[in-house]
Amino acid sequence: MALLDVGLQDERDGGFKLCSDLRRLAPKLPIIFLTSRDDEIDRISGLRLGADDYITKDASINFLMVRIEALFHRIEVITQSELPELKIQQDNSEFGPLRLDKKLLKAVWKNTPIDITLTQFWMLCELVDNPGEVKTCDKLMQAAHICVEPNTITAHIKTIRARFRDIDSDFDCIKTERSAGYRWLDIRLITA
């Protein structure tokens, strides 16, 4: 990570040039400006030149650390979102009455297509690929290539359940584990 000031020694705007050079040489390098220059034009210039964040020196060290953590979390999510091709290359999967087609990104329950979003599809795949295993909100975010609040994950799970129940009113394969996450019940164990 590069933490830059706008002014570098005798160069009033040397940090801007360095940021531009770093971005060209290392496109994925995290760059943050930490500077006393707080004019809007400086902020805009820093971000347009490729900085990921622009923080003024009146910010506390705790605030700076939180911004750095948030930046690294976003990078992690983006990096993992560059890997969906690996998942898509897998064949179709069947889990009792559930079929998942990872090439066409479709889910079918009891021979009826399930009307879910792409985000919800990847969350469902994560649950189903590991039946019985509790999946945290963070794990489901990673699987869906998103970065959202935990209550958004809860809303997605609620919608997924509702879509299954539109087809099958007795559907009860997704269990909530309080303060832990969600679990897909192995259909073979339910029907045995």
Strand duo 98-101 + 106-109: pairing:
antiparallel
Residue 187: predicted pLDDT: 63
Count of C-beta atoms within a 10 Å radius of residue 170: 6
Q: Is the pTM of this model over 0.75?
A: no
The pLDDT value given to residue 55: 93
Q: Report the pLDDT value the prediction gives residue 88, as an integer from 0 to 100.
A: 42
Ramachandran angles phi, psi of 49, nearest 5°: -80, -5
Q: What is the pLDDT of residue 134?
A: 95
- Average confidence (pLDDT) over 102-110: 89
